[in-house]
Amino acid sequence: MTLLIKNGIIITLGEKNRVIYDHAVLCKDGLIKSIAPVKSFTGSYDKVIDAAGKVVMPGFINAHMHFYSTMVRGYGKAAPSKDFNEVLHNLWWRLDKQLILDDCYYSTLIPAIDAVRHGTTTLIDHHASPFAVLGSLGRIADAVKEVGLRASLCYEVSDRDGQKIADEGIKENTDFIVRCNNDEQNQFKALFGLHASFTVGDATLEKAASLGKELGVGFHVHTAEANSDQIQCESQHKMRVVERFKKFGILGSKTIAAHCVHVNENEMEILAETGTAVVHNPQSNMNNAVGVADIIKMNEKCVMVGLGTDAMTVNMLEEVRSALWAQHLSQKNPSVGFMESLSTLLVNNARIANRYWKPFVGELKEGYAADIVLIDYYPPTLFDETTFLGHLAFGISQSTVDTTIVSGKILMENRQLKIDIDEERINSRSRECAAKLWERM
């Protein structure tokens, strides 16, 4: 299929972002074939999109997500929690223990459809369903494939539910990694999931590290999200969380350390030296009252910092604005953090994703995946490379996604879904699943 997008303002992103007028983007066989002056395209194409009044950008990437959290939307029976550990015990660990495979499927479909509506085309997910482990990643992949997005999946291995379930988690990761390694398609990737230092013992960590190295993949692990993680690690293991992960070979250029709210400068230096990516989740961190990660200091230490939502939203423009306000507040300075915050989404998420995906994503460039969004926007002031970030933070972020394209396939156009999805039926079935789940909780 050939797809031509013309008359929009093209924003390439990438290392040297360009804002281009009077050009068009030609997509063919799922890739960006060329970006050239619109007058140079004189042939016939399978589909032509008139993007007048819109900006044309790469699809957004969510570098840390939990699809399964969909199933507690509106749940009001969790006991009040005074700290993060109580949040886990009172809500999330009550939820994940009761999930069945159908819950995993429907809890993925709902946010995946919502992601299409918000221009999020790639998601790196972290899953837990300790009494429905085996087959869970396959069911999540089924839902992602049905919607047409791109995703990296993993299962969070933990010792908190016993050895049998920890072993099942290791097997589920291993099986899905092998599946992805043998799949020539570019839709799915896999990481080796771990919950967090305070729930994974040395034996399990050593086994996971060995298998991950053997399979050639990185890890996806919550890292010092709350200070209690550090306290437990120092008390039990006589070292800090990042130091422990380094000891076991968990860190590296293919690994994602989510959160890192409570890492010190030495740990930041270890993350930088090992090439480990940190994923910042500001709305979740504020919601759980665990603090705000010092991404300014991380940037000074040359740590790669991306942006995730931790399932608070799939709207990455909402999340990146929250990242900026959080830095202003935590640093007590309204003039800092602008570049560091916006770069998490606009530059670093692509860098992180491209450690896994080829063809590359996150930039409008010849040979890259044709993952593209069109957003309604008429610039009211000068709009070029020097002003783009301000327009994104204060203008584009408040506009509506009109069209979402993944691998050259149109998933939404003119704000209407173009995928074979019966939303009313899906949400009805999800409500049925959630009602039974809430009874079990």
Please indicate, yes or no, whether residues 86 and 164 belong to a single structural domain of this protein.
yes
CATH code of the domain containing 371: 2.30.40.10
Please indicate, yes or no, whether residues 291 and 399 belong to a single structural domain of this protein.
no
Please indicate, yes or no, whether residues 32 and 181 belong to a single structural domain of this protein.
no
Three-class SS state of 334: coil
Is the pLDDT score of 130 beyond 90? yes
Please indicate, yes or no, whether residues 341 and 297 belong to a single structural domain of this protein.
yes
CATH code of the domain containing 287: 3.20.20.140
Count how many domains the chain has: 2
pLDDT in the model for residue 43:
86
Distance CA 91, CA 84 (A): 10
Q: Mean pLDDT across the stretch 427-433?
A: 96
Global confidence as pTM: 0.97
Neighbours of 344 (CB within 10 A): 28
Q: Is 426 inside any structural domain?
A: no
Q: Report the b/e string of 284-321 with b at 16+ CB within 10 A.
A: bbbebebbbbbbbebbebebbbbbbbbbbbbbbbbbbb
Q: Which domain holds residue 396?
A: 2-59+362-417
Q: What pLDDT digit, counting tens, does each position of 360-399 carry?
A: 999 999 999 999 999 999 999 999 999 999 999 999 999 9
Distance CA 285, CA 123 (A): 19
Please indicate, yes or no, whether residues 156 and 209 belong to a single structural domain of this protein.
yes
* Residue in the structure block whose two tokens are 């990516």: 277
Q: What pLDDT digit, counting tens, does each position of 7-18 carry?
A: 999 999 998 999
Q: What pLDDT digit, counting tens, does each position of 329-367 carry?
A: 999 999 999 999 999 999 999 999 999 999 999 999 999
Please indicate, yes or no, whether residues 226 and 186 belong to a single structural domain of this protein.
yes
